[in-house]
Amino acid sequence: MKVRLGINPLTWTNDDMPELGAETPLETCLAEARLAGFAGVELGNKFPRVAGQLKPILEAHGLALVSGWYGSRLLEREVDAEMAEAEPHIALLTALGCTTMVQCEVTGSVHGQKATALTCRPILARAQWDVLLPRLDEMARRLKARGLSMAYHHHMGTVVEAEDEVDRLMAGTRDVGLLLDTGHLTFAGGDPVRAARRHAARVVHVHCKDIRPGVMADVKARGLSFLDSVLEGVFTVPGDGCVDYPAVLAQLPDYEGWLVVEAEQDPAKAHPLTYARMGHDYLSRVT
């Protein structure tokens, strides 16, 4: 593997719950990401979205921009409209040298709704798959022409959550790349080792999120929402949970890209720099 280690600013400040880490300035996030040893960061809600402003900030900390999340609504609109909506984001990523764009279909998603149980998340009918898959593939081709691989992020509370849905997404597309998220797949009841082995050739981005199995069992038994599960501490950094990272990474011998530590936690309970260092040091040992 030829990999670089990056981190998502969720460690310090949460996009879906901005009150978590609201008091932490971007300067702290970036300085501590570099202090922990990371080479790059993904976008977060405190980042300026103008390339001329963001580039010198990242350069001052010796950090590259890894990628950034884009929530698409391709079940609701055509590819032309989606590309137009995504254009500022695409332009920012390309201007800063990114090669992947993290994308997730968020039509009907419940992951940002604190009062809605994960069991209420949308399940696609066959006719909806028949709409979504060709649109994703077409958008992936257009992104490729712009120098970006679509890294599709299967995510709790969305239309592609379970392992069989990831399989269906991969089988029904050709140009869509896969963002393998070890934590989300485990939370969804899947096996990240099996998924990595099955889809190794399509993996273009990896989110390294670990799971506390006791917390996972508890939040599932209580029927909690995604955000309440985060607050309960279901996620943690690699090496602090039950995901077998050596086994996952062994399935990706030809992967060349970023391994991104991404662990939504309450920074008041999980000291950001401490956990950032834990994640970095663990991945450094197993790669």
Residue pLDDT, tens place only, 221-259: 999 999 999 999 999 999 999 999 999 999 999 999 999
Contacts of 164 (CB under 8 A, 6+ apart): none
What is the rounded distance in angstroms from the CA atom of residue 280 to the CA atom of residue 276?
6
Q: What is the DSSP letter of 13?
A: S
Q: Which domains does the chain have, with CATH numbers?
A: 2-286 (3.20.20.150)
Do the beta carbons of residue 61 and residue 33 sit within 8 Å?
yes
- The owner of tokens 């896969």 is 178
| Spacing of C-alpha 141 from chain mean position | 21
Q: Look at strands 256-261 and 203-208 and give their pairing.
A: parallel
What is the helix (H) or strand (E) element at residue 248, kind and residue range?
A: helix 245-250
Looking at the whole model, is its pTM more than 0.85?
yes
Do the beta carbons of residue 256 and residue 2 sit within 8 Å?
yes
Residue 1 has pLDDT above 90, yes or no: no
What is the rounded distance in angstroms from the CA atom of residue 41 to the CA atom of residue 227?
22
| Residue of higher predicted confidence among 1 and 272 | 272
Q: How many CB atoms lie within 10 A of CB 201?
A: 12
258 - beta bridge partners? Answer: 4
Q: What is the maximal distance between C-alpha atoms in the chain? A: 49
What is the rounded distance in angstroms from the CA atom of residue 173 to the CA atom of residue 136?
8
Among 13-27, 46-60, 156-170, 210-224, whose mean pLDDT is lowest?
13-27
Of the candidates 51, 181, 57, 72, the residue with the CA atom closest to the CA atom of residue 136:
72
What is the rounded distance in angstroms from the CA atom of residue 94 to the CA atom of residue 236?
30
Residue 205 has pLDDT above 90, yes or no: yes
What is the rounded distance in angstroms from the CA atom of residue 141 to the CA atom of residue 135?
10
Q: Look at strands 210-211 and 235-236 and give their pairing.
A: antiparallel
Q: What is the DSSP letter of 196?
A: H
